[in-house]
Amino acid sequence: MKRRNFIRNASMTGVGLVVGHSLLSCDDTYKKSESEVVLTDDNDSAGSLPLVIATWNVPNATAKAWDVLQKGGTALDAVEQGCMVEEADETGQSVGKGGLPDRDGHVTLDACIMDKDGNCGSVVFLENIVHAVSVARNVMEKTPHVMLAGKGAEQFAYELGFPKENLLTDASKKAWEEWKKTSEYKPIINIENHDTIGMLAIDKNGNISGACTTSGLAYKMHGRVGDSPIIGSGLFVDNEIGACVATGLGEEVVKTVGSFLVVELMRQGKTPQEACEEAIGRIVNKPNKNYKDFQVGYIAVNKKGVTGSYSIHEYFSLTKYQDGVNENLKAAFFNKQ
């Protein structure tokens, strides 16, 4: 069978590929999709291109990426420039400048980027540089490696001319000093002030790229690296099939290689929505059932511009810019209590 042939189970006809997250039922118990949907040529439920989607409510970032795409720019340029908007925004406390520090007061950044050809670059545990996503792009384009860490990544950035900046703003320092009074670390759902940005775009030529950038979990152990810079976990792009990006408690995403899983499920015929739901299912169906303590969310898009999103808990959202409309859409979620 050709990869891009779609064969649908009769029960899914007319539904599976167009169903939006707001229409999906969210049973308390995760159920595997009863119907298998396989990409076919006769699928006419495609979304229009170009398009950009991002985790959480980031209209300025998607607007920037959309602008790049409208001008005929590549998806790669769009996701980089879109993510840079959030990195530069000091009010966002989960990414770039103004990010909340680790427990020792250091703001350390993780970021990655992946292009239509499967090239990728990432930086982990990077300090003193605002635009981690751009450093990641330079790792991809200017080195024979895929990942640089810590001081090595920082040195590389300086050599490229990135300025040194103190990323710890007064507001984030104050929050950290408040936290130190109890020093209690719990990755509590949604109060991490999530605005880690993961962004996926398809350009006018139909090519897909993705990027992800974050300061990681607030008050993490010094040296901790999450899912966001790990290709396959925080982000994965397969230009034949689609792409996925994750947010939430990175450890849980890494344990299930979440973004690669979502894209492979799409390769096997799942819609982006079904694939995101199954990837969340792999987490919540673990024997220890500890998912009540943390959030994970995925957004995905397939080659035809059909999108999906799903999270463990309520209040995850994605921002989508498509057909000239920039909107924030609440994601369907697993845990209804």
Residues marked as catalytic: 196
Q: How far is CA 9 from CA 40, 267, 272, 306, in A?
A: 12, 16, 16, 18
319 counts as binding ligand SD4 under rule CB under 6 A: no
Please tell me the distance from the alpha carbon of residue 234 to that of residue 313, in angstroms, as a whole number: 18
Applying CB under 6 A, among 86, 89, 127, 227 the residue interacting with ligand SD4 is 227
19 vs 262, beta carbon nearer ligand SD4: 262
In the complex, the smallest distance separating the C-beta of residue 317 from ligand SD4, rounded to whole angstroms, is: 12
> Residues for the chain: how many in total?
337
226 vs 305, beta carbon nearer ligand SD4: 226
Applying CB under 6 A, among 62, 134, 247, 259 the residue interacting with ligand SD4 is 247
Q: Where are the alpha helices (DSSP H) in 89-218?
A: 132-142, 150-159, 170-180
47 vs 248, beta carbon nearer ligand SD4: 248
In the complex, the smallest distance separating the C-beta of residue 219 from ligand SD4, rounded to whole angstroms, is: 12
Applying CB under 6 A, among 33, 214, 319, 322 the residue interacting with ligand SD4 is 214
In the complex, the smallest distance separating the C-beta of residue 251 from ligand SD4, rounded to whole angstroms, is: 7
User: Which region, judged by CB under 6 A, interacts with ligand SD4, from 21-29, 39-47, 98-106, 211-219?
Assistant: 211-219
Applying CB under 6 A, among 217, 231, 279, 312 the residue interacting with ligand SD4 is 217
Applying CB under 6 A, among 207, 213, 228, 319 the residue interacting with ligand SD4 is 228
295 and 310 in contact (C-beta within 8 Å)?
A: no
Sheet architecture: strand order including 120-126: 147-149, 120-126, 109-114, 208-214, 197-202, 51-55, 317-322, 325-330
User: Which region, judged by CB under 6 A, interacts with ligand SD4, from 42-50, 221-229, 255-263, 269-277?
Assistant: 221-229
Applying CB under 6 A, among 96, 216, 269, 308 the residue interacting with ligand SD4 is 216
Per CB under 6 A, contacts with ligand SD4 among 169-198 are 192, 194, 196
Q: Where are the alpha helices (DSSP H) in the chain?
A: 59-70, 75-88, 132-142, 150-159, 170-180, 250-255, 258-267, 272-284
154 vs 192, beta carbon nearer ligand SD4: 192
Peptide bond into 101 cis (omega under 30): no
Select from 328, 322, 329 the least CA-distant residue to 66: 322
138 vs 214, beta carbon nearer ligand SD4: 214
The phi, psi pair for 195, rounded to 5°, reads: -145, 20
Please tell me the distance from the alpha carbon of residue 337 to that of residue 327, in angstroms, as a whole number: 27
In the complex, the smallest distance separating the C-beta of residue 149 from ligand SD4, rounded to whole angstroms, is: 15
64 vs 220, beta carbon nearer ligand SD4: 220
Per CB under 6 A, contacts with ligand SD4 among 62-121 are 94
Eight-state DSSP code of residue 231: B
242 vs 248, beta carbon nearer ligand SD4: 248
In the complex, the smallest distance separating the C-beta of residue 248 from ligand SD4, rounded to whole angstroms, is: 5
CA torsion, ordered 273, 278, 283, 288, to nearest 10 deg: 140
Eight-state DSSP code of residue 162: P
Please tell me the distance from the alpha carbon of residue 114 to that of residue 235, in angstroms, as a whole number: 8
Return the bridge partners of 113, or none: 121, 211
248 counts as binding ligand SD4 under rule CB under 6 A: yes
Please tell me the distance from the alpha carbon of residue 137 to that of residue 177, in angstroms, as a whole number: 34
In the complex, the smallest distance separating the C-beta of residue 252 from ligand SD4, rounded to whole angstroms, is: 9
In the complex, the smallest distance separating the C-beta of residue 113 from ligand SD4, rounded to whole angstroms, is: 16
Residues that bind ligand SD4 (CB under 6 A): 94, 192, 194, 196, 214, 216-217, 226-228, 247-250
